[in-house]
Chain A
Amino acid sequence: MVMHMLQQNTQSGRASGKACFDEWTPASIQLEVDALKHIPGAMLPILHAIQDRFGYIPDAAVPIIAEALRQTRAEVHGVITFYHHFRSHPVGSNVLHVCRAEACQAMGGRQLESHIKASLGVDYHQTSRDNELTLEPVYCLGNCACAPSIRVGDDIHGRMTPAKFDRLVDRLTTSTLELK
């Protein structure tokens, strides 16, 4: 039934909030590239596939993509670095996006931002020392009527407050320990 499928999907979306990436090898990168290289405008789909699977786009992927798409390494590098979404370095167990845009600012987003940076001890594009959380800025998650918002993995959280944030981080880091 429709509703059950949707529920399952929603829940699987939640489960994937936890990052669980494969270790890359040249062969596994090549597989991702080969699966998509024939579609028109294959570059972004390939980069997404690699980052979704390995958590980031390793430097070793650049010549493989360049070769497959008949472009220069510089062109591939240029695309990767142009887009905020693509990363060339590994991330922590969770990627945390904090919305910096106006609707969130109007609801105390700047104070929330300072609290998050201070409590994790990191700035944007950095990973906490325990390797649990990577902090990234984002400009709008489309949850602007229930601001301020943050995103953890694929989950959006609305009406965020410093206290709610601290509880959320506790939950995230505790569940990681349980898994170990």
Chain B
Amino acid sequence: MMAVKLYVPCDTTALAMGADQVVAALSSEAAGLGTELEIVRNGSRGLFWLEPLVEIDTADGRMAYGPVEPEDVRSLVEAGLLEGGHPHPLAHPLAQGLTDAIPYLQKQQRLTFSRIGITDPLSLDDYQAHRGFRGLKKALALAPQAIVNEVKGSGLRGRGGAAFPTGIKWQTVLDEPQGQKYIVCNADEGDSGTFADRLVMECDPYMLIEGMTIAGLAVGASQGYVYLRSEYPVAHRLFKLALERAYAAGFLGANVARSGRHFDLEVRLAAGAYICGEETSLLDSLEGKRGMVRAKPPLPAIQGLFGKPTVVNNVLSLAAIPFILDQGGAAYAEYGMGRSRGTLALQLAGNVRRGGLIELAFGITLNELMESFGGGTFSGRPVRAVQVGGPLGAYLPASQWDTPIDYEAYAAFGGVVGHGGVVMFDDTVDMGEQARFAMEFCTVESCGKCTPCRIGAVRGVEVIDRIRAGENREANLELLTELCETMVDGSLCAMGGMTPFPVQSVMKHFPEDLQA
């Protein structure tokens, strides 16, 4: 009899929800029954409310059960999970039907995340069976300028938050004289409410390796670094294993895919400083220094890591590259709206019933996202505020939930799309406390180089405390308004420059929460 083949994800969220214990329970049930069991530790599909999501291979396709807790395994087995040939879905409350037909997944446009959850993240065979390395093979046959042109044609803009056109950045580095150049991947995904970078590294690591290798070919860089946050131990472990295997199979090193071209890649662990997500601090940190922001110019593209021309791109920007080279920049640019081309990885988090990764062309509204995907709040209470774009993003009130998510449309009302994190809060939230936290976070994470950020944040916490205590309320509100303006206008980087955004949004849209 054929072994029963099951899939149990191995990403951080699945593990955090007990995936290893589920595997142990399944193995012990199978041993008790004398059933041969093959368990693939796949990546997560990003449907996090269903994790651990156990799938079984059937003649009709993969059938999903979730969220499976270790205690549910017995009843699933009793319903026939481990009986080869048993019809699926089983009569069981956790049955979700065919995984591919789950509406949350079916409604998405997965270009970058087309493989996650389907494949074993470390299997090179799986990767190549799902179009892996096709982009690299095309790039190897192209001149550097032709690769850069393809990326320009895709309209891809930096997915880390600043939304700078990726092709232009690559062009700048390509135009620098030949010599030592670097590709640096910013994997210091520090924004609360985001996990898309983590999913790439844990669930489809070869895609990032491929994207960075293509970047190296495009600009003439033979060395890449992934700067990964230390808060992601699972991503670190899996990505290091993927690097070893990519080297062993000849996709990295002195002779990339037997082309004679050279690209080395290394992962470096960060050390818990939010500011190192800012590209110039990141470079200082990689060089072994305190992660202090550099003044620009010079641009990193001209004087970056160790003073050499450097492409610094976010994980998601680099992860989009294999698709763009494989299927063409024009195919990517067909998605999206206005100047926001392609797809955006939205990450729905916080107080949400169905949180997870949602990859869609730009243009969906928050209302649609929160209702048709999120299914409302986890608590069942009404949504009161939504923070989009991480801790430096504004808190959006209901009146702004109908704006299509697009870089320009958000910028028009002072919002930021950022890295695509969407954190929902229900009506029990104290927005005064959230405003205070924005400033407090900046006191903890400011690099200290410029005064508006270093001192402004400390004063910001104090002034908000006075306002909330009812002390000289009007005068202190005016002071806070001016302080926010000073920080926005006078800070060296986005840390101090955007910390006021959540505060200003609370003052404007939730002033009642700043009463004593």
Question: Quick check: is A156 within 8 A (CB to CB) of the other chain?
Answer: yes
In the complex, the answer to whether B16 meets A146 with C-beta atoms within 8 Å is yes
Nearest residue, chain B, Cβ from A141: B231
In angstroms, Cα B444 to Cα A105, docked, is 17
Across the interface, which residues of B come within 8 angstroms of A144, CB to CB? Answer: 192-195, 347, 349-350, 355, 421, 423
In the complex, the answer to whether B273 meets A11 with C-beta atoms within 8 Å is no
Question: Quick check: is A90 within 8 A (CB to CB) of the other chain?
Answer: no
In the complex, the answer to whether A103 meets B232 with C-beta atoms within 8 Å is no
In angstroms, Cα B288 to Cα A43, docked, is 5
Across the interface, which residues of B come within 8 angstroms of A9, CB to CB? Answer: 237, 241
Take A7-B41, A9-B237 as given contacts and tell me if A41 and B16 are in contact as well, using a CB distance cutoff of 8 Å: no
Across the interface, which residues of A come within 8 angstroms of B286, CB to CB? Answer: 41, 44
Across the interface, which residues of B come within 8 angstroms of A142, CB to CB? Answer: 12, 189, 194-195, 197-198, 231-232, 235
List CB contacts (< 8 Å) of B425-452 with chain A: 425-426, 429, 433-434, 437, 441, 444-445, 447
In the complex, the answer to whether B190 meets A140 with C-beta atoms within 8 Å is yes
Question: Quick check: is B123 within 8 A (CB to CB) of the other chain?
Answer: yes
A40, A78, A106, A139, most chain B CB atoms within 10 A: A106
In angstroms, Cα B20 to Cα A14, docked, is 9
In the complex, the answer to whether B429 meets A106 with C-beta atoms within 8 Å is yes
Partner of B41, one of A3, A13, A82, A143: A3
In the complex, the answer to whether B10 meets A6 with C-beta atoms within 8 Å is yes
In the complex, the answer to whether B269 meets A48 with C-beta atoms within 8 Å is yes
- How many residues belonging to B are interface residues under a CB distance threshold of 8 Å? 74
In the complex, the answer to whether A84 meets B350 with C-beta atoms within 8 Å is no
In the complex, the answer to whether A147 meets B350 with C-beta atoms within 8 Å is yes
In the complex, the answer to whether B12 meets A156 with C-beta atoms within 8 Å is yes
Across the interface, which residues of A come within 8 angstroms of B350, CB to CB? Answer: 102-103, 106-107, 144, 147
Partner of A69, one of B190, B273, B288, B423: B288
Take A82-B291, A142-B231, A143-B12 as given contacts and tell me if A103 and B268 are in contact as well, using a CB distance cutoff of 8 Å: no
In angstroms, Cα B231 to Cα A22, docked, is 23
In the complex, the answer to whether B272 meets A138 with C-beta atoms within 8 Å is yes
Across the interface, which residues of A come within 8 angstroms of B356, CB to CB? Answer: 145
Across the interface, which residues of B come within 8 angstroms of A79, CB to CB? Answer: 288-290
Partner of A2, one of B15, B122, B192, B306: B122
Nearest residue, chain B, Cβ from A156: B16
Question: Quick check: is B48 within 8 A (CB to CB) of the other chain?
Answer: yes
Question: Quick check: is B233 within 8 A (CB to CB) of the other chain?
Answer: yes
In the complex, the answer to whether A6 meets B352 with C-beta atoms within 8 Å is no
In angstroms, Cα B240 to Cα A13, docked, is 13
Q: How far is the CB of A76 from chain B (nearest CB, A)?
A: 10
List CB contacts (< 8 Å) of B338-360 with chain A: 347-352, 355-356
List CB contacts (< 8 Å) of A124-147 with chain B: 138-147
List CB contacts (< 8 Å) of B154-203 with chain A: 189-195, 197-198
Chain B interface (Cβ < 8 Å from any Cβ of A): 10, 12-13, 15-17, 20, 23, 38-41, 48-49, 51, 120, 122-123, 189-195, 197-198, 230-235, 237, 241, 268-274, 285-291, 306, 347-352, 355-356, 378, 387, 391, 421, 423-426, 429, 433-434, 437, 441, 444-445, 447
Chain A interface (Cβ < 8 Å from any Cβ of B): 2-3, 5-7, 9-11, 13-14, 40-45, 47-48, 69, 78-79, 82-86, 97, 101-107, 110, 138-147, 149, 151, 154-159
- Inter-chain pairs besides A139-B391, A140-B192, A142-B198, 12 sampled, C-beta below 8 Å: A6-B120, A43-B289, A45-B268, A48-B269, A82-B447, A83-B273, A85-B270, A102-B350, A104-B192, A139-B274, A144-B349, A155-B16
